A and B are shown apart, each in its own frame.
Chain A
Amino acid sequence: MIIMQISSCNKKTSWILELIVWLVVVVSVVSSAAPELRSDINHNPYEIKIELTPLNEIDRLVFAQLQKLGIEPANICSDAVFIRRAYLDVLGTLPTGKEAIAFLKDTSSGKREALIDQLLKRNEFTDYWTMKWCDVLRVKAEFPINLWPNATQAYHRWIHTAIGNNMPYDQFVRELLTANGSNFRVGSVNFYRAMQSKEPLGIAQIVALTFMGERAEKWPKERLTGMAGFFSQLNYKATQEWKEEIVYFDSSMTNKEGVVTRSAVFPDGTVVQFLPNKDPRELFSDWLISPKNPWFARNVVNRVWAWLLGRGIIHEPDDIRTDNPPSNPALLAYLEKELINAKWDLKHIYRLILTSRTYQLSSVPKSNNPAAEANFARYPLRRVEAEVLIDALNQITGTTEKYTSAVPEPFTFIPDDQRSIALPDGSITSSFLEQFGRPSRDTGLESERNNRVTADQRLHMLNSSHIQRKLEQGPKMQYLLKKTSSPREVIGGLYLMILSRPPTEKELQAVQKYSQSSGLKGREAAIDLAWALINSSEFLYRH
């Protein structure tokens, strides 16, 4: 507790200023907002009724397919839903009350697109998407992969830098696949260490999963054996330094029978011979990242789509195979073409998706057609991920988490204001992250992350001392309660901080009734309101 308060003092000045500025605005928004911001009693605050016209090619392809299937798409989401959704999806971060108000009050016509452009440039984008890639690339220090802390930091830093610089995706993959050097100094070599089997077959299987989206265990055996040849000259050796390991091309490597491999087969069936002076991983990489490769672009655009819209055009996104066809082949082909034409700039794909009408659809469905989900007729409800959830709770209350690593090799010191989405090591001990389904990063499968709601998660949110302490003692909460005079201000402030929108009339009445009937003092009633809001589906889900 002491540590938490000291650390929050450092950050205090910035959010106090922030609070003062926007609390003044809160009152005006809550009591005299423009009509589209004030949701009336009979209408929900989540959608607006405007005509659904395509904004870009994605929309034309999605809407055409929906029309063909006779599925009615959802309405467009409200501004309040959009800002919250965009922040959570692009940054893994909740908008602050101030950011929410600024967006809600903005009357310019292109503000949604402008917001996306602004978000794509923020540092949290790098943190959050590094976290996603670290799931896929299995970045964790401990058992069973045993990357160890130093190398984990180096690996994470390499990925973070690449994403921060928006390294073209083909180069990103080529560097991972062809890396040589020390696990401490060349972060990318840890790709070949972050796998349990370091035999050519095991490596080939991981490469197929990661960059082709295919599960090689479903392949004919000879295809995997053929591909494994490209990884047959990869060797590992220890150095004098504790836990340092060099990953390198070794042309004299032999297989179990003592034979040096000098040929391999691409997954498309093409046989290649290689010379002793040429690292066969380079041959494989060049084949893989070619614009003509049928797997490479498809895998990554499908993953990005799934990350943003909750479901792949091919579903599951890492189970691509001929008997698992895309729900909208034209859409997938369009995105592949766009990525290649944009010289593998993934942010271009993010932007295309995020500025589409399809992305702006409300989560309130209009169709109960069973094919609606697979054809993106609404924005799907998804529980907020573990790391994003705890960061949001900390942001609202002005608190932090204490993360430590029990491994003394070397001991990892983690600053108090460390955000969970920026944790480099997937094996940092945290019962909250475990409980809310953080992936174990053992296999790199997307399904490792579990966003299912369980009874013990509900117990934790409803009634744990961990959450209760944040609400009752969190400095930001305390400050809000002390500095605001009218109940309306407090209510408006909490709604904006937690749900990124002002309350509806109906909600205002319910809260006021509660503070009268419960017999609680103002402060306790306000804490109960904050408690109710963080336990609402609207807070716990992306919607």
Chain B
Amino acid sequence: MSLNQDNRTMIGINDLPVTRREAIRRTLLGMTGLMLADHLVPSVQAVTRPATAKSVIQIWMWGGPPNLDTFDPKPEAGNDYCGPLTKPIETNVSGIRICELLPELAKQADKYSILRGMTHGINGHETAAYQVQTGRKPGDGQVYPGTGAVVSFFKGYEAGYKGLIPPYIVLTELQGRFSEAGFLGSRAKPFATGGDPSQNPFVVEGVVAKGITEKRQRDRRELLDNLNTLAQVQKEDPSLQAAEKCKQQAYDLILGDAGKVFDLSQEKDAMRDQYGRTTFGQACLMARRLVEKGVPYVTINYKGWDTHKQHFQAMRRNLPILDKGMAMLLKDLSDRGLLGSTIVWWGGEFGRTPKVQWEPPWNGGRGHYGKAFCHVVAGGGFKGGRVVGATNATGEEVKERPIYPPDLISSMYELLGIDTNAKLPHPQGLDVRVMAAKAEGMETAGRLTEIM
């Protein structure tokens, strides 16, 4: 892999080719600390570039993945911080090293950028998940919609999306302790597939039923129409007519071609193998099939990262699964020419304590840590092979270029062509914008212009 000059110089933050404004900002930051950041960069900027991204695949690491054992290794920090994972590996971008348990992702590093400066300081799951996925602080009396609801609102049916597949899909279960739709309400809720994509067939709740033949489906449908006496008596009723339309859409998915997108057996065995025959691996393949059909937002809700105990055992078990699935997703999207229009966003609600909790009852666990963590973005207009932000020698403090949740979310919206100052429909008619204005008190250090 040959690298261009640009890539190489982006590796360390101190070597960044920077604009004059950036340079001034850094100097100021260096002198007065991170607090100043939000005074320098407005959090709401008008969209200035043509949209490059059409879809988002969000790999949601529910529970909070560690930064040290994934994309921000600190082998010099010693056993208290690294535990047994002390040998990070080189990636295909020279100078970028990641955890030794992610060898496949190391081969794809030119496709993604690592955001090592993520911070919000919150250590509770719900509040952190809310902040990372809405870019808002809780407590002003509103429950804001998450990125999936916002993107599928601006890119969904109201924006001319015509697909039968709902514009916001969650593989496979809802987050549960996070209201994806917020005040946008049930019309913005995602469709959760249920089932397990690594099973054959992938039983998508409502779309694919096990053990009901197509003939029986058709016979049943006719029986229902014959017995639907109230609907026959009240043909003119608008609510029953709307319900009938919904039923037709449902059948288009059950019996029509649209539902076939969930049939993973249409993929070649070799392709399925490359993703890994795991729930996560096949969910990645499923996500690729969905964006191929134009679905604007797909969340892979990947649970199991809240590793308070037996942390390193869990990493040895889970990281190879993540590695294989996510690396293949990036490669496959790229091979198909879809990466340029698809943002892949990896991360959780926070990171984990860089200092290992060796004491009982944790016996080698990592706690919640919102002060410094990392996310990864790829595609859709984000440049690859870069690192944005840096933590200190132990990974506990953001030392350079903090990235607050609204910085990341606003950047994605910009690439998607969503105006962060556009109004959201609010049930009480309040004037609510896609992202908070500076005056609303959210910390920000500006969009990720370094990689856009």
Query: Do A and B assemble together?
Result: yes
Residues of A within 8 A of B (CB): 44-46, 142-144, 196-197, 202, 215, 217, 363-365, 368, 381-383, 406-407, 429, 431, 434-435, 437, 440, 442-443, 445, 447-448, 450, 452-460, 462-466, 468, 504, 506-507, 510-511, 514, 517-518, 520, 528-529, 531-533, 535-538, 540-541, 543
- A459 x B143 contact (CB < 8 A): no
CB-CB nearest in chain A for B231: A537
Q: A431-B174, A536-B227 are in contact. Are A143 and B209 (CB under 8 A)?
A: no
How far is B210's CA from A255's CA once the two chains are assembled, in angstroms?
63
- B174 x A434 contact (CB < 8 A): yes
Which residues from chain A contact B220 at a C-beta distance below 8 Å? 528, 531-532
Q: A464-B206, A514-B219, A529-B223 are in contact. Are A453 and B143 (CB under 8 A)?
A: no
Q: A447-B427, A507-B227, A507-B229 are in contact. Are A458 and B189 (CB under 8 A)?
A: no
Min distance, Cβ A273 to any Cβ of chain B, angstroms? 30
- A453 x B206 contact (CB < 8 A): no
Q: Which of B85-93, B232-240, B345-353, B439-447 contacts A (4 or more CB under 8 A)?
A: B232-240
Residue B95 CB within 8 A of the other chain:
no
- B141 x A520 contact (CB < 8 A): no
20 A-B pairs with C-beta separation under 8 A: A196-B140, A363-B234, A383-B239, A440-B143, A443-B427, A445-B428, A450-B185, A453-B243, A455-B247, A455-B249, A456-B166, A458-B249, A459-B205, A460-B205, A463-B207, A465-B209, A510-B227, A511-B223, A532-B224, A537-B231
Which residues from chain A contact B185 at a C-beta distance below 8 Å? 448, 450
- B229 x A457 contact (CB < 8 A): no
- New contact pairs (4) apart from A143-B178, A196-B139, CB-CB < 8 Å: A365-B234, A435-B186, A529-B227, A538-B230
- A143 x B203 contact (CB < 8 A): no
Residue B123 CB within 8 A of the other chain:
no
Min distance, Cβ A65 to any Cβ of chain B, angstroms? 23
Residue B432 CB within 8 A of the other chain:
no
Q: B153-193 interface mask toward A, CB cutoff 8 Å, 1 = contact, 0 = none?
A: 00000000000001000000110111100010111010110
How far is B219's CA from A529's CA once the two chains are assembled, in angstroms?
11
Residue B226 CB within 8 A of the other chain:
yes
CB-CB nearest in chain A for B250: A458
Which residues from chain A contact B189 at a C-beta distance below 8 Å? 434-435
Which residues from chain B contact A510 at a C-beta distance below 8 Å? 223, 226-227
Q: Which of A215, A383, A406, A452 has the most CB of B within 10 A?
A: A452
Q: A453-B242, A454-B186, A510-B227 are in contact. Are A468 and B219 (CB under 8 A)?
A: no
Min distance, Cβ B230 to any Cβ of chain A, angstroms? 4
Residue B254 CB within 8 A of the other chain:
yes
Q: Which of B138, B139, B186, B247 has the most CB of A within 10 A?
A: B186
How far is B78's CA from A36's CA once the two chains are assembled, in angstroms?
86
Min distance, Cβ B328 to any Cβ of chain A, angstroms? 29
CB-CB nearest in chain A for B225: A532
Which residues from chain A contact B336 at a C-beta distance below 8 Å? none
- B246 x A453 contact (CB < 8 A): yes
Which residues from chain A contact B237 at a C-beta distance below 8 Å? 365, 381
Which 10 pairs of residues, A with B, have the shortest CB-CB distance?
A459-B206, A458-B250, A538-B230, A455-B249, A453-B243, A143-B126, A532-B224, A510-B226, A196-B141, A537-B231
How far is B223's CA from A462's CA once the two chains are assembled, in angstroms?
12
What range describes how many residues of B lie at the interface?
Answer: 35 or more
Partner of A462, one of B126, B139, B176, B250: B250
- A142 x B177 contact (CB < 8 A): yes
Which residues from chain B contact A535 at a C-beta distance below 8 Å? 224
Min distance, Cβ B138 to any Cβ of chain A, angstroms? 5
Which residues from chain A contact B219 at a C-beta distance below 8 Å? 514, 517-518, 528
Which residues from chain A contact B141 at a C-beta distance below 8 Å? 196-197, 202
How far is B187's CA from A543's CA once the two chains are assembled, in angstroms?
24
Which residues from chain A contact B138 at a C-beta distance below 8 Å? 143-144
Residue B127 CB within 8 A of the other chain:
yes
How far is B229's CA from A538's CA once the two chains are assembled, in angstroms?
7
How far is B142's CA from A443's CA once the two chains are assembled, in angstroms?
8
How far is B153's CA from A95's CA once the two chains are assembled, in angstroms?
40
Residue B253 CB within 8 A of the other chain:
yes
CB-CB nearest in chain B for A215: B428
How far is B232's CA from A44's CA once the two chains are assembled, in angstroms?
10
How far is B195's CA from A44's CA once the two chains are assembled, in angstroms?
41
- A458 x B205 contact (CB < 8 A): no
Among residues 114 to 149 in chain B, which have CB atoms less than 8 Å away from a CB atom of chain A?
126-127, 130, 138-141, 143
Min distance, Cβ B198 to any Cβ of chain A, angstroms? 16
Which residues from chain B contact A196 at a C-beta distance below 8 Å? 139-141
- B176 x A406 contact (CB < 8 A): yes
CB-CB nearest in chain A for B210: A465
CB-CB nearest in chain A for B185: A450
CB-CB nearest in chain A for B217: A463
Residue B228 CB within 8 A of the other chain:
yes
How far is B207's CA from A455's CA once the two chains are assembled, in angstroms?
11
- A536 x B216 contact (CB < 8 A): no
Partner of A537, one of B179, B240, B428: B240
Min distance, Cβ A213 to any Cβ of chain B, angstroms? 14
How far is B166's CA from A371's CA once the two chains are assembled, in angstroms?
36
- A541 x B230 contact (CB < 8 A): yes
Min distance, Cβ A431 to any Cβ of chain B, angstroms? 6
Min distance, Cβ A414 to any Cβ of chain B, angstroms? 15
CB-CB nearest in chain B for A528: B220
Which residues from chain A contact B230 at a C-beta distance below 8 Å? 46, 536-538, 541, 543
- A520 x B223 contact (CB < 8 A): no
Q: B415-452 interface mask toward A, CB cutoff 8 Å, 1 = contact, 0 = none?
A: 00000000000011010000000000000000000000
Min distance, Cβ A40 to any Cβ of chain B, angstroms? 13
- B246 x A454 contact (CB < 8 A): yes
Partner of A456, one of B143, B173, B191, B240: B191
- A536 x B427 contact (CB < 8 A): no
How far is B246's CA from A224's CA once the two chains are assembled, in angstroms?
43
Partner of A520, one of B216, B253, B428: B216
CB-CB nearest in chain A for B209: A463
Which residues from chain A contact B183 at a C-beta distance below 8 Å? 442
How far is B185's CA from A437's CA once the two chains are assembled, in angstroms?
9
Which residues from chain B contact A381 at a C-beta distance below 8 Å? 234, 237, 239-240
Which residues from chain B contact A514 at a C-beta distance below 8 Å? 219, 223, 226
How far is B166's CA from A407's CA once the two chains are assembled, in angstroms?
30
Which residues from chain A contact B173 at a C-beta distance below 8 Å? 431
Which residues from chain A contact B130 at a C-beta distance below 8 Å? 143-144
Which residues from chain A contact B208 at a C-beta distance below 8 Å? 463
How far is B191's CA from A454's CA once the two chains are assembled, in angstroms?
11
Q: Which of A434, A447, A456, A533 has the most CB of B within 10 A?
A: A456
Min distance, Cβ A32 to any Cβ of chain B, angstroms? 22
Which residues from chain A contact B228 at a C-beta distance below 8 Å? 536-538
- A532 x B227 contact (CB < 8 A): yes
CB-CB nearest in chain A for B245: A455
CB-CB nearest in chain A for B230: A538
Q: A144-B139, A463-B254, A507-B229 are in contact. Are A453 and B216 (CB under 8 A)?
A: no
Which residues from chain B contact A463 at a C-beta distance below 8 Å? 206-209, 212, 217, 250, 254
- B186 x A437 contact (CB < 8 A): yes
- A459 x B227 contact (CB < 8 A): no
Which residues from chain B contact A455 at a C-beta distance below 8 Å? 166, 246-247, 249-250, 253
